[in-house]
Structure 1
Amino acid sequence: MKLTLKTTLGSVGAVVAVGFLLASAVMNYLFGSLLGRTPIEAKVYGAVSVLAVLCNALSPFFLSWAREGKRHAVAIAVGILWALCLTYSITSALGFAAENRTTLAGARQTIQSDYESAARRLAEFEATRATYTRPPRDLEDRIDRLRQEMSELRKQGGMVEADPQGQLLSKLTFGVIEKDTVRFLLVALFAVMVEAGAALGLFAALAHMSAGSEKPVAKKSAKAKVTKPTPKAVTPPARWLPASQRKKIE
């Protein structure tokens, strides 16, 4: 029962690790492709980024085997390569997540600013209309257009905070951590989580599965002591015995 449960959970863990690997590979490829000046350079940067992700997933296996075999030079080389690839992958993931979150927050902030600006202009026009007994038709048209514009902006999230998660976490710290700092920490947490899952998830899952499949080696039982048979007493031939005993035997 334990072996079946361990194998099942190990298989699920391997699937989750592959998901982290795919996410990391896509993130690194997209960010790496932005560094190229030409389409070919973009593909080269993206391919190298994907290779770095694969190296992160394979390095724990190579490092473990090198340590088991006591090949210290190989272990040091793998450790250096792993550190370089992991650092590059984390920085790429940070760039991807930061750009994505900043762009999204900036777009929401623009919509929110447009909504607030439209609300101020609407309030001014309505105040102006209150001074007229019969407001001009042009003023009424402006007010109608602004109300329609505000309705569209409201549907796009004009009344919603640009970064609700960052604002909430900042309030939970009673303002000790500012909203922009919270946003940066969330970006860093996301990038490190994805890269750690991609680098260590597959090794952890398969290591448990292989450990569960190994059968314990039975200890060799001590050799049973072989007792030498007791030699039977051999009766000497009758001709060797004295005459008195020879007559009894005969």
Structure 2
Amino acid sequence: MKTFLSILGIAAAVVMAAVSAAMNFAFLASLGKTEIEGQMLGAASAAADLLKCLFPFFIAWAWREQRYVAFLSGTAVFILFAGFSLLSAIGFASSNRDAVVQNRSAMDESFAHADQEYQRKIAALAALPTRRPATVLAEELRAAQQNRLWSRSKDCTEATEAPSRAFCDSYFRLRAEQAAAEEAVRLEVSISALQAELASLKTQGAGQARDAQVMVLSNLFGLPEGRLRLVLIVAVALVVELGSSLGLYLAAGPQKGPSAKSDADTIRSAERRPIGDIEDFVLAVLRPAQDGEASLWELFLAYRKWCEKNQLDPIENCQFGDRFRELAKAVQLPKEGETFRGVALGAVGT
């Protein structure tokens, strides 16, 4: 179960690291004057972000090996990279959220304009007089043009007699009704198009809160929306950066407490031999010799042999070198490079 959870945690941490690197790449790439400069900035930012994920391992190893200079320098670089990555993530989250808010604001303006036009055309349609369908009126007009009064009045341009005037009056009334019917058809088509546009804008979020999360939190806590939006932007960036910075280390290398030691660890700890003391080695093996000399490597090999004969555990080469140099300096033993003069190796024994 622990193995499965560790694998799951590592996978999630890798995803967080990839998201953080992509966010930083996108933000820094947008700051380049040209496309190639943007790609260079983005690549440098992504590389720094990936290094940031590995630095916790390097820092822990340096501390475990007591390399304090590497530990301090690694910690400083990690803080620098993490801060840089956090600022980039804040910039990306801010620009992204602002773009969403501006897009919804533009949709609200488009929705308001379309709704205003829709209401105007509904009112114009309602203001039209009562009318019959345009096709019916067209047929009646064609029938009227077959009337003998139509030709007698020369297409109602010279209606001088009473019958002609009455005929032409009814004809022009039909024309007016036909014009109203045609205008109604045009308005209905336009109204249908506006209804479809309004429905589409509503589906995209028009007419709703521009930032619903900020609005709810503002109503809940009574804080200004601008301040809440800033807090949420920083919170998103912090979640991504903390997950990408420490997630991989925490998932891949959990530290075991004393209670988590296995039986094998306990047995090995009980069977571990004492550490060979360098001062005891010096007193037992080295002897003064005016023309004698011994290199640090020869001394270390003799020390290991002495530890083996006395059933002791030797320390590492680098630790032996540091400790022996301190002793040599304390007794003012002359040296040239890594070779110490005035001493010779005696028989290795107890």
Instruction: Give the TM-score band, short-chain normalised.
Output: 0.7 to 0.9
1:6–1:209 CA contact under 8 A, matched in 2? no
Mapped to 1, the partners of 2:113 and 2:261 lie a distance apart of: 66
Cα offsets for 1:191-224 (capped at 9, x unmatched)? 11111111101111122288879751421399xx
Name the residue aligned to 1:60.
56
Name the residue aligned to 2:87.
91
Cα offsets for 1:155-189 (capped at 9, x unmatched)? 3322332222222222222xx22233322222211
Name the residue aligned to 2:15.
19
Mapped to 2, the partners of 1:91 and 1:43 lie a distance apart of: 18
Look at both structures and tell me which one has the larger radius of gyration over its CA atoms.
Answer: 2
DSSP 3-state at the match of 1:208 = coil
1:163 is the counterpart of 2:214 = no
DSSP 3-state at the match of 2:254 = helix
Task: Tell me how many residue pairs correspond in the alignment.
Answer: 216
1:29–1:49 CA contact under 8 A, matched in 2? yes
Write out aligned runs for 1:1-250 (5 A): 5-134=1-130, 136=180, 137=183, 142-173=190-221, 176-208=222-254, 215-218=264-267, 219-220=270-271
Mapped to 1, the partners of 2:97 and 2:31 lie a distance apart of: 19
Relative to structure 1, the CA distance from residue 10 to residue 149 in structure 2 (aligned partners, 3 Å threshold; closer, same or farther) is closer
Q: CA deviation at 1:139?
A: 5.3
**Percent identity over paired residues:** 30
Q: CA deviation at 1:98?
A: 1.4
Relative to structure 1, the CA distance from residue 209 to residue 71 in structure 2 (aligned partners, 3 Å threshold; closer, same or farther) is closer
Gaps of 5+ in 1: 223-250
Relative to structure 1, the CA distance from residue 13 to residue 149 in structure 2 (aligned partners, 3 Å threshold; closer, same or farther) is closer
Q: CA deviation at 1:44?
A: 1.5
Higher relative contact order, chain-length normalized (CA < 8 Å, sep 6+): 1
Cα offsets for 1:118-146 (capped at 9, x unmatched)? 22333344345544435951655554443
Mapped to 2, the partners of 1:23 and 1:170 lie a distance apart of: 29
Mapped to 2, the partners of 1:41 and 1:221 lie a distance apart of: 58
Relative to structure 1, the CA distance from residue 213 to residue 39 in structure 2 (aligned partners, 3 Å threshold; closer, same or farther) is farther
1:97–1:187 CA contact under 8 A, matched in 2? yes
Where is the strand percentage greater, Structure 1 or Structure 2? 2
Relative to structure 1, the CA distance from residue 35 to residue 132 in structure 2 (aligned partners, 3 Å threshold; closer, same or farther) is same
Gaps of 5+ in 2: 132-179, 274-350
Mapped to 1, the partners of 2:4 and 2:64 lie a distance apart of: 27
DSSP 3-state at the match of 2:271 = coil
Q: CA deviation at 1:69?
A: 2.4
- TM-score normalised by length of structure 2: 0.55
1:10–1:208 CA contact under 8 A, matched in 2? no
